């Protein structure tokens, strides 16, 4: 069944996030299906193990999210009265910076990784929990804004649709996601070589059609290595 919902705005709210200098080709060649299998467990190996299986050490650095928070704040009109959910919050670093830069704001986070939640940045531990994006443990319209960065594409297509509907359900109408995507064949080749955890990767136009089909009305942008 097709939905007639209007999708939101294509906008790069991560424009001020520092860009990593990666050798995409080299990472693609050195990675195996075993690396992907281990990465998709989202455990210690993924966050704090070898670089071939994830982040190679996932530590808090203010230079990553602090430049981004003012962009979120301006776009969504965030204030001390706002509530924000981070779906796929990992160790809560973005939440920490948001709480620091917008004093009084309510931030909550969920992640499927028990390891990430157990090792969350200390001040965010009361605000994070292990949960599944396909079944968010919150009532309808619980949050002014729901943000999910590079997370829902880790689900297969049908589950990705579930997660988008859940984001739609728990938000009061504002949300923002980023997903793995490509615009050209060259970008597609590079994406598949680089990808470690995503299970749904589509052309940007396919993503937009998918958003409309499942009834996602939030804003969005692409991760393209």
Q: Report, in angstroms and rounded to the nearest whole number, the Rg of the chain calculated over CA atoms.
A: 17
> What's the predicted TM-score (pTM) here?
0.94
Per-residue confidence (pLDDT) for residue 25, from 0 to 100:
53
- Could you give the percent of the chain with pLDDT greater than 70? 93
DSSP state of 218: S
Total Cβ atoms within 10 A of residue 138: 16
Residue 108 near residue 82, CB atoms below 8 Å: no
Total Cβ atoms within 10 A of residue 176: 24
Residue 224 near residue 14, CB atoms below 8 Å: no
Q: Is 144 helix (H, G, I), strand (E, B) or coil?
A: strand
pLDDT surpassing 60 at residue 179: yes
Whole-number Å distance between alpha carbons of 49 and 58: 9
Spatial CB neighbours of 223, under 8 Å, sequence gap ≥ 6: 150, 178, 179, 180, 181
Helices (H), the chain: 24-30, 33-39, 44-48, 62-65, 69-76, 93-101, 114-118, 157-170, 185-194, 204-214
Per-residue confidence (pLDDT) for residue 192, from 0 to 100:
87
Tens of pLDDT, residues 97-140:
999 999 999 999 999 999 999 999 999 999 999 999 999 999 99
State the Cα angle at 124 between 94 and 50, rounded to 5°: 65
């Amino acid at each position: 069944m097709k939905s007639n919902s209007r999708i939101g705005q294509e906008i790069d709210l991560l424009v001020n996030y520092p860009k990593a200098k990666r050798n995409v080709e080299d990472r693609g060649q050195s990675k195996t299906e075993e690396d992907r299998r281990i990465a998709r467990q989202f455990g210690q190996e993924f966050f704090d193990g070898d670089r071939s299986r994830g982040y190679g050490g996932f530590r808090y650095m203010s230079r990553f999210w602090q430049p981004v928070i003012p962009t979120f704040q301006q776009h969504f009109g965030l204030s001390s009265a706002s509530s924000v959910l981070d779906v796929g919050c990992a160790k809560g670093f973005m939440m920490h910076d948001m709480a620091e830069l917008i004093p009084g704001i309510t931030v909550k986070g969920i992640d499927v990784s028990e390891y990430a939640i157990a090792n969350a940045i200390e001040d965010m531990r009361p605000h994070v929990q292990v949960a599944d994006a396909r079944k968010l443990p919150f009532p309808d319209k619980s949050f002014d804004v729901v943000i999910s960065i590079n997370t829902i594409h880790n689900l297969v297509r049908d589950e990705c649709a579930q997660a988008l509907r859940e984001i739609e359900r728990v938000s009061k109408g504002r949300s923002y996601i980023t997903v793995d995507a490509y615009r050209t064949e060259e970008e597609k080749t590079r994406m598949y070589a680089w990808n470690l955890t995503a299970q749904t990767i589509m052309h940007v136009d396919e993503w937009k059609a998918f958003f409309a089909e499942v009834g996602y009305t939030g804003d969005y942008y692409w991760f393209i290595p």
